[in-house]
Amino acid sequence: MTMQKVVHPDEVYTERTTQSRAHMERARTVMPGGMTANIKHFAPYPITINRANGSKFYDVDGNEYIDYLMGYGALILGHAHPHVREAIVRQVEEDGTWLFGTPHDREVTMATRIQKHFPSMEQIRYANSGTEANLLAIRLAKAYTKKYKVAKFEGHYHGAIDSLLLSIHPSESAAGDQEDPQAVPDSGGMAPNASDDTLILPFNDIKSCTRILEQHKDDLAAVIIEPMEGGIIAPKQRFLQQLRKVTKKLGILLIFDEVKTAFRTSMDGVQGVYDVTPDLTTIGKVVGGGFPFGVVGGKAAIMEQSSPLSGTDIFAGEGGQSSQKALFHSGTYNGHPLILAAGIATLDVLEQEYDALVARTDNFREELTHLFQKHDIPMKTVGSGAMFSVLLTERQEINHYRDLQTCDHDSRKKLDKALFEAGVYTKPGNRYSLSVVHDNEALTKTLEAYDRVIPEVLR
Whether pLDDT at 367 is above 90: yes
Q: What stretch(es) of the chain map to CATH 3.40.640.10? A: 82-307+324-348
For residue 37, the one-letter residue type is A
pLDDT the model gives residue 448 = 98
Q: pLDDT band at residue 324, thresholds of 50, 70 and 90?
A: low
Q: What percent of the chain has pLDDT over 90?
A: 91
Region 82-307+324-348: CATH code: 3.40.640.10
Whether pLDDT at 1 is above 60: no
| Each residue's pLDDT tens digit, 445-456 | 999 999 999 999
Under 8 Å between Cβ of 277 and 271: yes
pLDDT the model gives residue 172 = 86
pLDDT the model gives residue 459 = 78
Q: pLDDT band at residue 326, thresholds of 50, 70 and 90?
A: confident
- Read off the pLDDT of each residue in 59-84 and give the average, rounded to a whole number: 98
- Read off the pLDDT of each residue in 282-291 and give the average, rounded to a whole number: 98
Whether pLDDT at 2 is above 50: no
Q: Is 142 labeled as catalytic in the residue annotation?
A: no
pLDDT the model gives residue 9 = 74
- Read off the pLDDT of each residue in 135-146 and give the average, rounded to a whole number: 98
| Each residue's pLDDT tens digit, 369-386 | 999 999 999 999 999 999
Whether pLDDT at 265 is above 90: yes
pLDDT the model gives residue 377 = 96
In angstroms, the CA 305 to CA 248 distance is 20
| Each residue's pLDDT tens digit, 186-219 | 999 999 998 999 999 999 999 999 999 999 999 9
Which of 56, 147, 149, 285 is catalytic? The answer is 285
Q: What percent of the chain has pLDDT over 70?
A: 95
pLDDT the model gives residue 303 = 97
**Domain 1-73 classification at class level:** alpha beta
Which of 13, 157, 274, 432 is catalytic? The answer is 157
Q: What stretch(es) of the chain map to CATH 3.90.1150.10? A: 1-73
Least confident of 2-11, 131-140, 430-439: 2-11
Q: Is 285 labeled as catalytic in the residue annotation?
A: yes
Q: pLDDT band at residue 323, thresholds of 50, 70 and 90?
A: low
Whether pLDDT at 155 is above 60: yes
Q: pLDDT band at residue 7, thresholds of 50, 70 and 90?
A: low
Buried b (16+ CB within 10 A) or exposed e, 194-227: bbebbbbbbbbbbebbbebbeeeeeebbbbbbbb
Q: Is 157 labeled as catalytic in the residue annotation?
A: yes
| Each residue's pLDDT tens digit, 327-343 | 999 999 999 999 999 99
Q: pLDDT band at residue 131, thresholds of 50, 70 and 90?
A: very high
pLDDT the model gives residue 3 = 38
Under 8 Å between Cβ of 387 and 432: yes
pTM here is 0.95
Which of 257, 279, 403, 416 is catalytic? The answer is 257
